[in-house]
């Protein structure tokens, strides 16, 4: 267990006890030595945790003290950092900015004992091949999915044939380096996948599509075996 994770768990451990907890009890709970407990307690006090007590007597924490409701362990922060790196390289600037904004909000509410973990993130995403460019708006496409609005596209297939389609957009799927739109195609009366880099134009309709059990994302996943 990383030390930052252990410090958070010690806080929760103390908050869950009505009486003073000895260093030996904490050491047994977390399988560490008492010397490490003393050091951890001092660091928690230094970071602002209202812990009272002393070695040989036991420790109590003010029950009104709580960690922010959004707390993460080191591995979770690593996963978030990797996700933001991937969003930055494989989506559009608008979504990348939103990912950075979300990470800044998380950073702002992290307890002091986890702030250092953000500076030690060592997992990154770097494209090993150029992303296939698209000309349509990635963000408009995302919003049409969220708002359940039909879209009209001009699409060029693998053979170079161009067609016009009216779609019910359901999900965006990343198959590096290709982005696919999973959709219900009105012309074909079936689910189809469309590559974003082959879309020549995109128009978001004012028409919303209703939720229909045989044409929604759940049905698409069941048909294609998507988890």
Contact 155, 202 (CB under 8 A): no
SS (H, E, C) 31-55: CCCHHHHHHHHHHHHHCCCCEEEEC
Instruction: Determine the CATH number of domain 3-61.
Output: 1.10.10.10
pLDDT over threshold 90, residue 209: yes
Mean pLDDT of 195-222: 94
pLDDT band at 227 (very low <50, low <70, confident <90, very high): very low
**What is the CATH T-level fold of the domain 138-224, as seen in this structure?**
SH3 type barrels. (2.30.30)
Contacts 24+ apart (CB under 8 A), 19-23: 19/58, 19/60, 20/53, 20/57, 20/58, 20/59, 20/60, 21/58, 21/59, 21/60, 22/56, 22/57, 22/58, 22/59, 23/55, 23/58, 23/59
The DSSP bridge partners found for residue 151 are 167, 204
For the chain, give the percent of residues with pLDDT over 70: 86
Q: Give pLDDT, residue 214.
A: 94
pLDDT over threshold 70, residue 128: no
Q: Give pLDDT, residue 67.
A: 62
The DSSP bridge partners found for residue 200 are none
The sheet carrying 178-185 orders its strands as 190-195, 178-185, 162-175, 149-156, 199-208
Q: Give pLDDT, residue 5.
A: 77
Nearest residue to 43 via CA among 128, 145, 112, 139: 112
* Strand residue runs (E) in 76-177: 149-156, 162-175
131-182 per-position pLDDT tens digit: 678 999 999 999 999 999 999 999 999 899 999 999 999 999 998 889 999 9
Give residue limits of the domains in the chain. Answer: 3-61, 74-118, 138-224
90-124 per-position pLDDT tens digit: 899 999 999 888 888 777 777 666 666 666 676 76
7-46 per-position pLDDT tens digit: 888 988 998 888 899 999 999 999 999 999 999 999 888 8
Q: Give pLDDT, residue 36.
A: 94
40-98 per-position pLDDT tens digit: 999 888 878 899 988 788 999 987 776 665 567 777 878 888 888 888 888 999 999 99
């Amino acid at each position: 267990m990383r030390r930052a994770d252990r410090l958070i768990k010690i806080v929760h451990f103390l908050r869950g006890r009505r009486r003073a907890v000895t260093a030996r009890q904490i050491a047994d709970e977390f399988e560490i030595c008492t010397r490490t407990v003393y050091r951890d307690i001092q660091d928690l006090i230094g970071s602002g945790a209202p812990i009272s007590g002393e070695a040989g007597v036991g420790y109590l924490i003010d029950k009104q003290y709580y960690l922010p409701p959004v707390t993460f362990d080191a591995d979770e922060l690593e996963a978030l950092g990797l996700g933001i790196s991937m969003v930055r390289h494989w989506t559009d600037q608008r979504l990348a900015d939103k990912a950075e904004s979300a990470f800044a909000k998380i950073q702002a509410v992290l307890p002091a004992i986890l702030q250092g973990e953000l500076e030690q993130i060592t997992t990154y995403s770097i494209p090993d091949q150029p992303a296939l460019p698209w000309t349509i708006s990635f963000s408009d496409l995302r919003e049409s999915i969220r708002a359940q609005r039909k879209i009209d596209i001009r699409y060029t297939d693998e053979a170079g044939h161009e067609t016009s389609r009216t779609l019910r957009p359901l999900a965006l799927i990343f198959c590096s380096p290709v982005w696919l739109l999973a959709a219900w195609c009105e012309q074909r009366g079936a689910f189809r996948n469309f590559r974003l880099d082959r879309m020549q134009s995109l128009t978001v309709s004012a028409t919303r599509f209703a939720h229909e059990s045989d044409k929604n994302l759940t049905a698409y996943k069941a048909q294609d075996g998507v988890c």
